[in-house]
């Protein structure tokens, strides 16, 4: 799922304090909805900030990604997997 603030800002750091809290409240709502329908084993929650961090749409948005046992061979490192030497520890 994606959580997208109504007001256009480039990334997470452009949000006001109120928008920041509202965004994370919606992330929690997404989690509850996903859990009621799909019962995941975990989540990745993420913002990409800037083109060189993988942001391809220059409008703030948050990824809420349910994860399941066995969906990848080795989940160690989570989102750190984008840095190869930090992938496994």
Answer yes or no: are the C-beta atoms of 1 and 34 closer than 8 Å: yes
Active site residue 38: no
Selection from 21, 68, 20 nearest residue 44 by Cα: 68
Selection from 35, 34, 33, 7 nearest residue 20 by Cα: 7
How remote is the C-alpha of 26 from its chain's centroid? 12
Find the catalytic residue in 8, 21, 38, 61: 61
Q: List the structure tokens of 33.
A: 């909805």
Active site positions, annotated: 61
């Amino acid at each position: 799922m994606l959580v997208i603030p109504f007001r256009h800002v480039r990334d997470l750091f452009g949000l006001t304090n109120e928008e920041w809290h509202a965004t994370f409240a919606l992330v929690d709502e997404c989690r509850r909805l996903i859990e009621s329908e799909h019962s995941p084993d975990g989540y990745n929650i993420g913002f990409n900030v800037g083109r060189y961090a993988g942001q391809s749409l220059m409008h703030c948005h948050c990824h809420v990604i349910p994860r399941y046992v066995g969906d990848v061979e080795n989940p160690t490192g989570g989102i750190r997997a984008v840095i190869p030497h930090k992938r496994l520890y």
